[in-house]
Amino acid sequence: MRTVRMLGNCGVDVIDLPDPEPAERDEVVVEVMSSPLCGSERHAWDGGRRMGANNVFNSGHEGSGVVAKARGSKYVKEGDRVALHAAAPCGSCRYCVAGHWVLCDRPPGRRLPGNHSQYVLVNERSCLPLADDISFETGALFGDAIGTPFRAIKRLGVTGFDTVLITGQGPIGLAATMLCRFLNARTIVLDVNPYRLEQGRQCGADACVNPAEETDIHARIAEIAGPRGVDVALECSAAPEAQTLCMDVLRKSGRMALIGVSDKGPMIDTMQHFTLKEIEVIGTWYSAPTDHEELEALVRRGLPADDMVTHRFGIEEAPEAFDLFFGGDAAKVVLEPWG
């Protein structure tokens, strides 16, 4: 089979590997039909070389496909259409029982070598049934790209009464905009990249603001949202200044989700930001398996999930796909391993 190999220092190539075989009863092989690129792969792409099984590593963790080999599986059979959940849950710890697979106490299962491949070896529980009327491309977006902001939006109870600030219009922020629009919430979106801001506009944002072009970003947001502030903030940029901004412009008793992954902290005034305003802040980084079926239902009711895909590449074009995606002038970029 053909698979992408991360070379580090902004390079990938495409190589041949033997097709994977299930070694354990709970392992299955999935023929990958759609494998989107995710912003969280940046560290794998532009960092140092990382080694995986067979000295090959690729960071693909979104995807969908068809079960190709399932010897002893109780959950799936060969030929099943599935969306791939990135967790390999044990199914029995307290977090798994509650549906919080990404918090599972058991270490992640084996995965060879990542979803940017023609075949991938996964834990059988990672295979969520994909309905026949949902495309592979849409199903591949459910776990992370759409599922992550969806879970945050659900946990924060966003409704059509809310004005929502969304910082960052990369794929996660863009999906947040699309979902809030679908729920009839009012959205203010921020990004310093004009291309991404335009993507936000096309996804239905009510106001698009480029902070780099504003002299007083706080005043600009107050002008749009009103002096009370925004009801909800979804931080999707991972920029520490955006995290601080969200807490600044949130109204008293507002709700906020930290979705962007950053190892640098925001400047927090615990008394002004938290105690006196009584705001609620949650962290979230991936979907729950129960979100999958709800997203299928939303797509049937018209959620334009595929609109966020701007580019599609065959697997041999993986170097161009990564260059384009991390160049920033693309929304969701998808690898089609058999294209």
Residues contributing to the site for Zn ion (CB under 5 A): 38, 40, 89-90, 93, 96, 104, 144
Closest CA to 246 of 276, 279, 288: 279
What's the min distance (Å) between Cβ of 11 and Zn ion? 20
Q: Provide the 10 A C-beta neighbour count for residue 228.
A: 11
- For the bound state, the minimum distance from the C-beta of residue 92 to Zn ion, rounded and expressed in Å, comes to 6
Rank residues 40 and 167 by Cβ distance to Zn ion and give the closer one. 40
Which residue, 98 or 212, has its beta carbon nearer to Zn ion? Answer: 98
Residue 328: left if φ>0, alpha if ψ -120 to 50, beta else—which one? left
What number of other Cβ atoms are within 10 A of residue 325's Cβ?
Answer: 26
- Least separation in angstroms between CB 298 and Zn ion: 20
Crossing angle of helices 240-249 and 217-225, in 10° steps, is 40
Least distance from Zn ion to the Cβ atom of residue 328, Å: 17
Dihedral angle of Cα 301, 66, 142, 300, to the nearest 10 degrees = 0
CA-closest candidate to residue 2, choices 162, 135, 115:
115
DSSP 239-286: -HHHHHHHHHHEEEEEEEEE-S--SS-----IIIIIITTT-EEEE--S
How near is the Cβ of 57 to Zn ion at its closest, in Å? 15
For the bound state, the minimum distance from the C-beta of residue 295 to Zn ion, rounded and expressed in Å, comes to: 16
Q: Say if strands 27-36 and 332-336 run parallel, antiparallel, or are unpaired.
A: antiparallel
Closest among 28, 34, 59, 32 to 140, alpha carbons compared: 34
Alpha-carbon torsion angle 263, 193, 317, 78, nearest 10: 60
Q: Measured from the CB atom, is 94 or 300 closer to Zn ion?
A: 94
Of the pair 86, 205, the CB lying nearest Zn ion is at 86
Residue among 65 and 109 whose Cβ is closer to Zn ion: 109
User: Which of these, 174, 135, 180, lies nearest to 160 by C-alpha position?
Assistant: 180
**Toward Zn ion, which CB reaches closer, 34 or 163?**
34
Using CA atoms, how far residue 309 sits from 37, 68, 172, 173, in Å, is 10, 26, 12, 13
Identify which of residues 96 and 180 has a Cβ nearer to Zn ion in the complex: 96
Q: Least distance in Å: CB of 39 to Zn ion?
A: 7
